Amino acid sequence: MEVKTFRARSMQEALQLVRRTLGPDATLLQAREVRSGLFGWLPGARQVEVLASADVQVPCRLPASAARTGAWGASPPAAPEAGAGRNSDPTASPSWECDYRARFRAAVLADEDEPHSLVEALSHRSPRAAIRHLPEAACRLYADLVDAEIREDLARELIEHACQAADPRDANDSLMLRARVARLLEDEIRVSGPLEVQPGRTRVVALVGPTGVGKTTTIAKLAANYRLRQQRRVGLVTVDTYRIAAVEQLRTYADIIDLPMEVAATPRDMRIAVGRLSGQELILVDTAGRSPRDEVKVQELKSLLGECRADEVHLVLSSVSGGVCLEKAAEQFAPVGVTSLLLTKLDEAGGLGGVLSLLRRARLPLSYLTHGQNVPDDIEAADARKLARIMVGMERT
């Protein structure tokens, strides 16, 4: 009979050493707490010493259910005092030893499936491991959704719902599964449709958002479409006096399209500018880019929009930004009275997972999507079906 001694800093580490060396069927013979000594007499750190063997099979008198369900304790139960709890069979092990061994056995078996290294832990967290119980087609789609920057928990939720609704015979049909996920996304995406312009009524629409998201170019696209293609009377107001180039850029567009344009630097200027353009059917207001973290500037923007009495306020965001940035911007611009979202630069985005998180968090409809710099092209009213199919890789922007 081969008996081996194991020492470790804790009982858990000792059990792992026994399992790795002797296997899960090893028998625990003895366990005690010892101190490592220096020169044989100076006490050192506390350790757990375990004697175990792979050859010995000690019978246990505990019920089978107890042996199966027993949990490993922090320390072994104390041995009974001499003469207490004697059994008529002198060769049988004391019940406290059987209980200790049963609990050791249960702990070893329960520990088998747990990762014990960084590599194992990372493999358990991989995209495929999260839904390894689902068909191969679902695993591939899950990896694609995560690559498209959709959060892992959201991707898993979508695929599990799609698999539950699918016929078992179609479980490995990747195209059908992708289409089901697209339909689930389509149901979540709200759209507001294009701007509605009515004859005899002036509609004021303002575009707000952070710097560099393409507000001025988007204003020009909208103005050109409604003036040249729909023959509407359109006027422009810019309050972006922080950047001289922005005023000149919009003025150039206004001259090309032949539109009246006003510049407003204060709330009073805004009120006068809108009054001068009251004969137009659509007034588009281009605002200066504001940092979402600059609460003072956001409040100034709110005052300006209050003077123009905007019917709609579109928050312009770049789809290139990450989900956290998009959600933070929507939260910070909410006080100005945002009514819908307008996404730009879809042609530059690596994935639209952040957009999906934004729509879930902000609970605002999408109005327009832009995918390039060409005026008046590269803009379209948001379409839930198309956007969902782009998210799952069934269409391109």
**Per-residue pLDDT tens digits for 363-372:** 899 999 999 8
35 close to 45: Cβ distance less than 8 angstroms: yes
What distance in Å separates the CA atoms of residue 207 and residue 314, rounded to the nearest whole number?
A: 5
Q: What is the DSSP letter of 236?
A: E
Q: Evaluate if residue 82 carries a pLDDT over 60.
A: no
The pLDDT > 90 percentage for the chain reads: 21
Residue 348: pLDDT band with limits 50, 70, 90: confident
pLDDT higher for 42 or 57? 57
- Split at pLDDT 50, 70, 90, the class of 356 is confident
pLDDT at residue 317, as a whole number = 94
158: pLDDT strictly greater than 90:
no
Q: What is the per-residue pLDDT for 292?
A: 62
Q: Is the pLDDT of residue 16 over 70?
A: yes
Chain-centre distance of CA 275, in angstroms? 46
**pLDDT score, position 70:** 40
Averaged over 114-122, what is the pLDDT? 46
Give the C-alpha separation, 172 to 184, whole Å.
18
Q: Identify the pLDDT of residue 109.
A: 54
Q: What mean pLDDT is reported for the chain?
A: 77
E-assigned strands of 214-291? Answer: 234-238, 261-263, 282-286
d(CA 237, CA 19): 75
In the prediction, which pLDDT does 62 show?
43
215-224 and 244-257 helices, crossing angle to 10°? 10
**pLDDT at site 136:** 77
Residue type, 204: V
How high is the pLDDT of residue 176? Answer: 85
List own/partner pairs for 192-201 with CB under 8 A and 24 or more apart: 192/339, 192/340, 192/365, 192/366, 192/367, 192/382, 193/367, 193/381, 194/367, 194/368, 194/381, 195/222, 195/226, 195/282, 195/312, 195/367, 197/226, 197/230, 197/232, 197/281, 197/282, 198/281, 199/281, 201/281
pLDDT of residue 41: 46
Tallying the residues shown for the chain, one arrives at 397
189-198, 301-310, 340-349: which range is least confident on average?
Answer: 301-310
pLDDT given at position 104 = 55
pLDDT at residue 100 is higher than 70: no
Window from 52-56, 58-62, 67-71, 305-309 with minimum mean pLDDT: 67-71
0.85 exceeded by the pTM? no
Q: Report the pLDDT averaged over residues 138-142.
A: 83
Question: What pLDDT score was predicted for residue 22?
Answer: 84
Give residue 208's pLDDT band: very low, low, confident or very high (50, 70, 90): very high
